Structure 1
Amino acid sequence: MQDAILRKLFLGFIQIHILHHAAKAPFYGAWMIEELAHHGYDISAGTLYPILHNLEKADLLQTEKQVVEGKTRKYYCITQEGRQTLAAAKEKIAELTHEL
């Protein structure tokens, strides 16, 4: 039971982390896997891409295709809805950390 709850919490942290970086600059999936690894999240492409697709379906992210070294790469960018969601999450995080 505890593992399931921690998994849900970490999924939320990962989603906020994704939105945070998308607000800074467009990114591609392999870069995000490396970025999350720097923060202790061991996440595979098979886990990350469904998260990205769900954020896209929720209109929090959008994609742009760019050709890099002859290959098409999909970049993820934050939407206005994503910016609003990230701002609300930051408020709740600040409130919680202040309380803890």
Structure 2
Amino acid sequence: MSRLVQVSSAALIVLILLSSSQVAEQAATFLQDLTRLSRSIDSQEEKCADNTACGWAIYKPFTRAIENYMRNTCTCPDHMKCIRTDDDLSISAFVYRCRKMQS
């Protein structure tokens, strides 16, 4: 029985590690760099406030496979970039916020 528990624990750890790397890989291929998206910018376009989300990557619960990316109606200021900052489990989504670009 002890051996079965050890094998099951090892398999679970491997599964968690693989799913974490899969999420990162999916996010990298699924999401384009938001600063490179081409679109017409209206001069009246609203800028995102300090901690307002600029987007959400909606994922399947448990697997966290990204299903859809939704951008907010506001955009990041020129010196900032929309990047993933946290994970909102209550809505099954990675949350993106405007952050200063690294030099």
Q: Same fold (TM over 0.5)?
A: no
Q: Which has the higher helix share?
A: 1
Comparing both chains, which one has the higher relative contact order based on Cα–Cα distances under 8 Å and sequence gaps of 6 or more?
1
TM-score by length of 1: 0.29
TM-score by length of 2: 0.29
When Rg is computed on C-alpha atoms for both structures, the one with the higher figure is 2
